[in-house]
Amino acid sequence: MFSAPPAVPDELDRLFHRLVANLSDLDPPRLQRPFAVSELYENLVPYRTHRKQLRIDTKQDYEMVLLRLLAGERGYAAVEPEEVREALAREAAGVNPDTGLFRRYAGAKVRLDPDRVNDALGRTRPERDALAPPALVEVETPAPPPAAAPMPELSVLEAPPAERPDLDAAALVAEGEEEPTEDRPRAELPFSLEEDEEAEPPPTLPRQPSAGSTSCAYCGGELPLGRAVMFCPHCGQNVGVVHCPACGSELDVGWRYCITCGNQMAGLG
């Protein structure tokens, strides 16, 4: 148990109250957060600017008071990690202590006791409750939604083909068709189920001149009748496709003028 503060405040009480007042003026939230040991003697309560308020005559006396605070005397502050606090406490209780030992642990963290801070600030109980961090509210995890009911299986009127030995291979091709008999032969399919690898696509018929075209649109020569003519036997031009010599538009055989530029076709004058 830490000793209670004396009836008359001493240098340790004055150091703690000055530290709390400075933090309250500079950054009040830091009263509830840890800070580095080095900040204590460098920025928050440095000896050079607070020796009069602390009523401390020498720097060694200032270091001793600071060592007692960091050692946990009267429960004003706690140093983390615990190994550092224990080392400072042993040194503070020694016969000839090294008062500047805390400088070796400048990076250690100091946390002020919240009750002692409230006492130093003279806060009432409602004020303390208002400044206390909110309690963590346990959020109840919602229960997972119920699993969807499985879809009902569709009734099968007939067993799968694999379980019906009465069907032969031909019946599997068109299941549901009645078995052919001599009186009722199977209907012929319009196509063969087996791929004919040697079958070739039907030849593409050449474009023939339009009906009534008996002369070449290029040279005017007579074309054979009753035969598919693609090239003029006189000039060798393709008579199945006529192109306007002026603009190159494709025209039908027998047209006298180009539908694009109006040019009159040769041999059709």
Chain segment 140-190, per-residue pLDDT in tens: 566 666 666 666 555 444 445 555 555 554 444 445 555 555 555 555 545
Residue 206, preceding peptide bond in cis (omega within 30° of 0): no
CA 79 centroid distance within chain: 42
On whether the CB atoms of residues 69 and 16 are closer than 8 A, the answer is yes
* CA 185/CA 192 separation, integer angstroms: 17
When divided into structural domains, the chain yields a total of 2
Per-residue pLDDT at 35: 93
Least confident of 66-80, 81-95, 116-130, 254-268: 116-130
**By mean pLDDT, which of 31-40, 80-89, 174-183 is the weakest?**
174-183
| End position of a domain, from candidates 98, 114, 131 | 131
Residue 172 inside a domain? The answer is: no
In whole angstroms, how far apart are CA 253 and each of 178, 180, 244? Answer: 56, 55, 11
In this model, does residue 67 exceed pLDDT 60?
yes
User: Is 0.75 surpassed by the pTM of this model?
Assistant: no
Is 196 among the domain residues? no
pLDDT at 132: 46
Token readout for 27 is 């950054």
Q: Which of 110, 131, 152 is the last residue of a domain?
A: 131
Asked if residue 146 belongs to a domain, the reply is no
**Range among 101-105, 129-133, 178-182 rated most confident:** 101-105
Domain span at residue 116? 11-131
| Residue 59 forms part of a structural domain | yes
Assigned domain for 164 exists: no
